[in-house]
Each structure stands twice: as structure tokens, then as C-alpha cells.
Structure 1
Amino acid sequence: MAQYAVKKLAKIAGVSVRTLHHYDNIGLLQPAIRTAAGYRLYGEKELLRLQQILFYKEMDFELSTISDLLDDPEFDMVTALQHHKQHLLQKQQRIQTLLQTLDKTIDHLQNKQKMNYEDLYKGLPKEQAAAWRKEAMEKWPDQVKHSEQQLLQMSPTDFETLKTSFSTNWETLAAMTDQDPHSPEVQEQIAQHYQLILQFWGKPGNQAAAYKGLGDLYAADPRYTAGKGQPAFGSFLRRAIYYFTDQLK
């Protein structure tokens, strides 16, 4: 069975020797063998574990969380790989949508094309976007009109930046579903989410009550959290938002 010294493994995996030493020191990835001279040697088992570590890091998991996951007696490598594949496929789809959006934005800047209402709902199927907008207009007509008017005043580049920032923040929060919603790390992301929502709403200032209502909506309507571990994610968001809004008062 092939064994790899730390420098060879670092080169293969695209990480630094220092990183592997750190993983060893904290017990996250220990070598299969330590020679009498103090050299670390890694086998197939360690290579597969390192692959899992790098996949979870790609999803912004903390090292302590990764260690707990991999050391769980019920951890299954094949199931984990299937989850990683699904995550990467979803990320690939988001990147493809962003690339298309960039092309349209470049075209706008070059040809001075104006944004329209449909541009505000890019990334959603046309029929779904129309249905959601219709429902929102029935429930919150003034808010929707105000929000759309404010967004249409943004440049296409700024609007795409806003959507990208929101998507990144949303995925980060989804990855934190199992964490304490009151923790500083989660609350930092919620604070960012709140500021992004204010931009979408076009309403600066303290909007604690409205934002708290959004938390209730997330928990009650699975369309907003589909594919994110609903109802766990919806409940997590509501608890995190409630705690955040309490600090705004």
C-alpha cells in the first residue's frame, strides 16, 4: 500500500506542509505511521479523510465541526460524498446563473439597456417569479412597489452584487443550521442578512418588527427554505432573527 510523506501529500492535495502539521497537532488528521526519525507517513485512509476535510472546508465548516463529523461513529463516507456531490452541483448551477447574469450586465453597460421588473427576478423560473410577485402584491402591495422602485434605481452591476452577496450569505447561514442561533458567528451572518434585506426593501433605519415578521415567514413557508433542511433551517432562521431583533430594541 502506498504511503506518502507530508511534503508529497501536501503537493498532491494542494495544501501547505504547515497546514498538515496543524491538522496533526489538533488531532484532525494524524499520520498512519511516525517513523523513528519523526517523519509522518500517510496511507489511503488518511488521504480519504483529508479529502473529506477539504470538502467540508469548501463549505465553510469550522475545523472543530469537521472533526466532530468525521469522528462520529455513524459517519458514512459514501453518504458524505453524495452530499458533497449534490452541494457542488448546486454551486455549479449558481455559478452558471451568475455567468449568464454577468453577460447580460456587460451587455447592458455596453449597449445601455435598461433594467425592467423581470430583471429583478432572474434566477427563478418565469412562471414561479410571476406567481411569487402576484402573491406578494396581494399581501404587501405598497412594500413591493416601493422595493421594486428602489431596486430599479440601482445600476445593474450594483444589483447583481447585491444578489450575489445575498446568495453567499444565505448559503453560509444554511451551513450553520446545526449551530447555536445565538452564537457570535451566526449573529454576524444574521446582521449581514439584515442589512441585505434592508437594501432589497429600500427602507433604511430600524426595521426590527418587519424583520422579525420575515423570520416567521421563513419558518412557516417552506418555499423560502426548500433544499436547506426545512423545517430545521426555517426554525433556525427564526430563532436567530428573533435574538437579533431583540438586540436592536
Structure 2
Amino acid sequence: MKLYTVKQLGRLSGVTVRTLHHYDAIGLLKPASVGPNGYRYYGRDELLRLQDILLMRDMRLPLDRIAAALAAGSADRRQALRRHRERLIADIERYHALIATLDRTIADLEGGEAMPDQDLYQGFAPPRQAEYETYLTERYGATALDESKQRLKGGSKQAFERHLAELADLEAEIVTAMKAKLDAEAAAVQDIIGRHHAWVDRHWTADRASYAGLGRLYLDHPDFRARYEAQHPAMAQFLAKAMAHFAERSLPASA
């Protein structure tokens, strides 16, 4: 049986060595054996298990639910794979519709057949946006969501891109702090979180309860959690803890 070291498995799968070490530490993906030199070795069973993990991550499942599905046995694993296959087929169909929409739009712009206004948006996925808005409204009320939309309304594309770039820089700083093994409540981390709060506050007034609630949203909602865990396996949990600490110490109880 062919065995792979953790570095070889990382190159084969595209998963970072740090993430593979984290999966080992939490019991999600243990190596087949560990050599006298301390090297981890992975065999065929571990490769298949890692494929399962990556497929379920692509389904936006958090790591604890992935672990539960894997622990439940092969029947649930097969069911998860079938669900993922169905989702991929649905995505393919939607992408085909998007390609057709783009082709018709290009033809229209080049002087071909005029495209009806209602056809401009075929293939897009408003249900996903509606799902997020429902999730937020149920937990934090419609006021914050309406306020956020109003504040963003009318801004230029360039300003919005700068706004997103600023968030990306803040998230990169958080990952750097985590790699340096700083605690979520450390002063340096709280300085970053303070700037993150200022960024959020441009959207809606984030008081103690709502800002801490936003941190819980990052941890609880599978889409947000997957987004942050893609940057660092423990980032969603770290961010939620850091935001809760900042909210408790630095923000008023109500706006």
C-alpha cells in the first residue's frame, strides 16, 4: 500500500500542511501511522476520508458536523456524497443558464437580437440572498438590515471595492495574529477587532448585543463559518470570541 507523508498529501490534495495537522489534532483525519521520526503517513483509507471531508466542506458544513457524519458510518457518507452530486448537477444547470444569458447579452450589445429586460437575470440565484436576509432578520430584526442597505445605497463601485479590500486586510491581520498564537482577548487582537467594528459600523449601528451577535453568526451559519475556516481552521471560533470580548468591554449596551 502506498503511503504519503503529510507534505506529500498536502501537495496531492491542495490542503495545507497546517490544516492537515489541525485535522489530526481534532481527530477528524488521523494518519494511518506515525514513524519513529514523528512523520505522519497516510494510506488509501485516509485519502478517501479526506475526499469526504473536502466534499462536505464544499457543501459548507462546519467541521463538527463533518466529524459527526463521518462517525455515523458509510451509509451517511454515501448519502452526503449523493447530496453533493445533486448540488453539483444543480450548479451545472445554473451555470449553463448563466452562460446562455451572457451569450445573449453579448449578442444584444453587438447589435444582434434585442434581449427582453426580464431575461437579463436568468440563471442568477436570488434565493441565496433571500436566505441570508431571512436568517439575519429572524435573529437581529429588519432594522439593522434596512439600515445596512440604505448606507450602501448609492456608493460607487470603486468605493465598494475599497471597502471589501479593507475587510480582506483586517481578516489577514487576524490570521497573522492567530498564527502568532495570540489570544482572542489580547490587546493586539482587540485593536484589530476595534477596526473591524468600525468597518461594520459603516453598514449599521453595531451596539454590544448586535456586534456580539454578528460574531455568533460567523460561527453558527455554515456559509460564513466555511468562509472563515477556509482562511484558518479555527478562525470563525476565534473571531466570535474576540468580537464578544470587544463588545462586552468597549460597546454600549444599546445604540
| TM-score of the pair, normalised by structure 1 | 0.48
